[in-house]
Structure formats: structure tokens, C-alpha cells
Structure 1
Amino acid sequence: MKLSFTKMQGCANDYIYLDCRASGVPADIAALAQRLSARHFSVGADGIICICAPVTPGADGRMRIFNADGSEAQMCGNGVRCVAEWLYTHGVEKPVLTIDTNSGVKRISRQGAQLWQVEMGAYSTLPADLPAIHMGEGPLVDQPLTVEGKVWKVTCISVGNPHCVTVVEDVDSLKLEAIGPAFEHHANFPERINTEFVQVVDAAHLKMRVWERGSGETWACGTGTCATVAALTELGICPAGQDIHVQLRGGELVIRVLPGRQLLMTGSAVTVYEGVAEV
């Protein structure tokens, strides 16, 4: 069987996009995500994103994300921008789009060619919202976490999906393939965790690498970038209400923390190519 798809990327966070608005999500989507995401052996991607019919009245579409290991994620900040770009170029040519996700409805505004701003909603530092266990019931800000015998200072943030943020001196020297899995599968995070390692350049500029649950190291993570700026705002390093520029391996995202712990993310959404895969 032949499957039409669009390959898109936001800061090199690349996914295979399927138009499922009429057909629905394929029954074998988990296996399909594993097979088509395999780099060097198939299309290659961080996973598959299905563009579905909306469930909220008045919404323009729905996004469902399946990681490279076949697991389903709640939200993808880079992905939702690409869904907006795809809808915009496929007949839904509106300056503001609303998209259903597994972590609520997101409002996305077009800022220019292939540039979108997402209202990501409010973040939380409470363990019940991640979830996290064995770490108390108070805000998880600047807390010790022992990972394979080493104590890290972490700030845990939920932005609809769970993140663990830690500040390091030199992000480029980290061997994420060695330490990332231990964070992801740590016993304190029963639903696994996305982990961000961040280097502070100055109060408005950060460098970040990310280990995503279900995908490993990716070149960017929109929700992870939001969580990172939220964490450093909680730590008093980054100022609220100002644009914070975060350099990722695949490009730059701009995050702003608004009153009420609301997050605003701005970044690109680029169509790479359209193709047909044998499945």
C-alpha cells in the first residue's frame, strides 16, 4: 500500500505528517511510526504527526503525535506550528488557527512566511501535574535528583507534558546518549520524562540540548524549550515578560513568560518535501 505524506521540520525537529482528516488515524500507527521514523532505513523522522478532524467546535484541526518508538505524546510545540503551516497551505488560510491537542486547544498566530507564534498555555511546577513521585508535594524548583549515583539540581515543569530541566556549564560536551535514558526512565517519573540540559549565556540567551522520551536526542523540542525558560524564570535567571532566545541544535526559538505563568513560543515551520511511502 502507498501512503502519501509531507515531511516538515521546526528547528530540525522533523516529523512525517499524514492527512487523516477524512480517513482517521491508521490502525497500525504505532508500528508505522517505528518503521517510517527509522533513519537511514526509511523516511527518517522524530515520529509521525497525524492531522485529524477537530473535536472542539470552531477549531481548525487536531494533532496527534506518535514518537519514533510508537508511543503517543500529549503535545509537540514544533509540531503544532508545522500543523498550522500545513493547514494554512492546504486551504485553511487564516491568520490565526486553533488546533486540538492531547493537552488542550492551542491558538497559533501567523507572524510571517513559515513563522508562527503559539499560545502554549500555563505551566506548572507541581509534582502531581507531571507526574513525579518521591519528591514531595511542593514546587519542584531547584530540587536534588540522583541519577546513576550523581546528584543533579533539577526543576521539573509540566507544559501539558513532563519536563526535567537542569543547568550545566557546557552543554556541548555532554554525552546525552549515555545519560539521557537514565533520566527518561528514572523511577521518580512513572510516565517517563523529557530532559533538558541548558547552558546560560546571559539572562536573555540560552543554549539547550534535549533528550525526549520515546525519541532520544532530538535537534529541538518546542515544549522543552518552553519548560526550560519557565524553569530558569522560576530560578530567577531569566526575566518574565521578556523574549528569551534559546539556541538549539536545529535553530532558535523565542519564548516569553506572561502573567499567570502563560507561555508564548515563536518559531519557524518548514515544509521539506512531499512523498509517497510503501507501507
Structure 2
Amino acid sequence: MRLKFTKMHGLGNDFVMVDGITQRVKLSPEKVRQIADRHTGIGCDQLLLVEAPRNPDVDFRYRIYNADGSEVENCGNGARCFARFVRDRRLTSKEHILVETAAGILELKVQEKDQVSVDMGAPVLEPSDVPFQADIQAESYPLEVDGETYNVGAVSMGNPHAVLLVDDVTKAPVDSLGAAIESHPRFPARVNVGFLQIEERGKARLRVFERGVGETRACGTGACAAMVSARLRGLVDDEVQITLPGGTLTIHWPGPGEPVTMTGPTASVYHGQIIL
């Protein structure tokens, strides 16, 4: 199979974008891993597949595959790249795009200077829906990991996130603790793990260990979940600049029941073809 693709990134969180509308695409977990391999393939954090929608009220269907071949529900940085990709490839001329995902419908708005805003929907806070094992909903939960107890927020932005507050994000044990929490039995679907440092009420720093990927330079849903968790604890205002290793996102959330809006840049790197 000869596959045309575009390599893109949002704040260094990199993606292989595949148009499944104008070409026939048949992907297996093995093929996704082959494409994502940074030594023998193209290399990416995630592969994003554009398909025709099943819902007649939206413009596209959007499928997301981690580098390990697993399919996941949502990706904020990927959603922004998706909006630019479908316009660059002339699949649409709209600036306001509705996209069907496994987590529901996303609203994407293309702005000037390669900025894209994404209506990520309202965060899910009920533990059983994250999913997370807890008796009642709370702002944070004690979680025992390797004999130590950590307080974590549990938020779903269409995919599950655990959020830990740290004093210095540069010293956070992202690889070791992130991996341990990712597969913690209280998160039955595994979990993305955010390490959040609050600088002031409108500014924070974040590193994210993504399930099935490891630490990435940026994670849009992770930034949204981190802001929600911090706001629930009364630590930030309703708009926060969150700086990740790859750059800065603006996250706006008025409060429970309201949608989270994420705004940030996108970049197209190159187009190519690969034979699988």
C-alpha cells in the first residue's frame, strides 16, 4: 500500500496526518507502529486519520492512533493540526469545522497566524466516567504508588488524565512516576499523567506522560485537564497560559458544566509517501 501523508506538529507534539477521503487507507496496529517508528518509519507521537463522517451534521470523522498502535479518543494538539490539514489539502474551505471523534463532536475554529481554537467540550469529572476508581467525586484523590501517596486530580477530556501538582516541573520524575501511574489499577483504561507547576493564577508550566507514548513535548488535552484540575482546587483563574516543553497554549474554562476552549499554533513540516 502506497500512503500519502503530511508531517505536522503542534508545539512539538508531532503527527502523521493521513487523508482517508481521497485515498484508500487500511491501517492495522502493526502498520501504525511501522509508520510511527522514528528509526525505520516516519516517526510521530500519533497518527491522525481523516475520514468521511458517519454523522451527516458534521464535516469529518477524526481517528487517533498512538505510536504503539492503540486507538484513543481525543488529542487536542492533533485536533488543531487536523483543522489546518483539511484546509491545506483543500478538503474544506470552512473556518469553522465540526469533527466527529470517538469522544464526541469537536468544534474547530481557524484563526490568523496558524492559530486554531478548539471547543473541547465540558470536562468529565465523575470518577466512573473518567474512568477512575473512587467512591465519590472530589477535587483530588490520594493515590498510592510504590509505597508513596500522591494527590491527583482525575479528569477526562474525552481521554483520561491524572494531574499532580509539583513545585518544580523540571525536577518532576515524569518518566518513572508517569509510567507507574499510567498503568495504575485504579485507572482501568490507563491514563495520561500531567505534572503541573503553578507560577501564578494565570500562568503554569506542565509536562505530560501520555499513555502509549511516553513524555511528549506538548499535550492539548493534558493542558486542558491540568487547567481544570487546578481551577477546581481554586489555584487559577478562568484563563491560563500553560507552557509545555514545546510552547504555550491558552486554556479558558468558566467552570463546571461549561466547555473548555484551547487555542494554540500549528505547523506543517513536509508532505511525502510511504510504501507499507
Q: What is the TM-score of this pair, normalised by structure 2? A: 0.95
Where does residue 31 of structure 1 map in the other structure? 30
Q: Does 1:257 align with 2:253?
A: yes
Out of 258, 263, 266, the residue aligned to residue 263 of structure 2 is: 266
Q: What is the 5 A alignment of 1:94-243?
A: 94-133=94-133, 135-136=134-135, 138-240=136-238, 243=239
Contact 1:24 1:52 in 2 (8 A): no
Where does residue 15 of structure 1 map in the other structure? 15
Q: 1:205 and 1:274 mapped to 2: Cα distance?
A: 35
Q: CA deviation at 1:31?
A: 1.1
Q: CA deviation at 1:2?
A: 2.6
Write the letter of the residue equivalent to 1:214.
Answer: G
Contact 2:208 2:222 in 1 (8 A): yes
Contact 1:258 1:264 in 2 (8 A): no
Structure 1 gaps, min length 5: none
Contact 1:15 1:79 in 2 (8 A): yes
Q: 1:102 and 1:152 mapped to 2: Cα distance?
A: 30
Q: What is the TM-score of this pair, normalised by structure 1? A: 0.94
Q: 1:98 and 1:215 mapped to 2: Cα distance?
A: 27
Moved over 3 A (4+): 22-25
Deviation string for 1:33-87 (max 9, x for gaps)? 2111112332110021101111221322111000011100000011111111011
Write the letter of the residue equivalent to 1:255.
Answer: I
Report % sequence identity: 36
Q: 1:124 and 1:67 mapped to 2: Cα distance?
A: 22
Q: 1:114 and 1:24 mapped to 2: Cα distance?
A: 29
Q: 1:36 and 1:27 mapped to 2: Cα distance?
A: 10
Secondary structure of the residue that 1:258 maps to in structure 2?
A: coil
Where does residue 79 of structure 2 map in the other structure? 80
Secondary structure of the residue that 2:227 maps to in structure 1?
A: helix
Q: CA deviation at 1:218?
A: 0.7
Structural RMSD (CA): 1.3
Contact 1:22 1:53 in 2 (8 A): no
Q: CA deviation at 1:23?
A: 4.4
Q: 1:177 and 1:9 mapped to 2: Cα distance?
A: 22
Q: CA deviation at 1:175?
A: 3.0
Write the letter of the residue equivalent to 1:272.
Answer: V
Where does residue 243 of structure 2 map in the other structure? 247
Q: CA deviation at 1:25?
A: 4.3
Q: 1:208 and 1:234 mapped to 2: Cα distance?
A: 17
Q: 2:244 and 2:263 mapped to 1: Cα distance?
A: 14
Structure 2 gaps, min length 5: none
Q: Alignment length, in residue pairs?
A: 274
Q: 1:177 and 1:39 mapped to 2: Cα distance?
A: 19
Q: CA deviation at 1:17?
A: 0.7
Write the letter of the residue equivalent to 2:64.
Answer: I
Contact 2:15 2:78 in 1 (8 A): yes
Secondary structure of the residue that 2:248 maps to in structure 1?
A: strand
Q: 1:83 and 1:116 mapped to 2: Cα distance?
A: 10
Secondary structure of the residue that 1:156 maps to in structure 2?
A: strand
Q: 1:25 and 1:156 mapped to 2: Cα distance?
A: 35
Secondary structure of the residue that 2:260 maps to in structure 1?
A: strand
Where does residue 276 of structure 1 map in the other structure? 273
Write the letter of the residue equivalent to 2:140.
Answer: D
Q: 2:121 and 2:19 mapped to 1: Cα distance?
A: 26
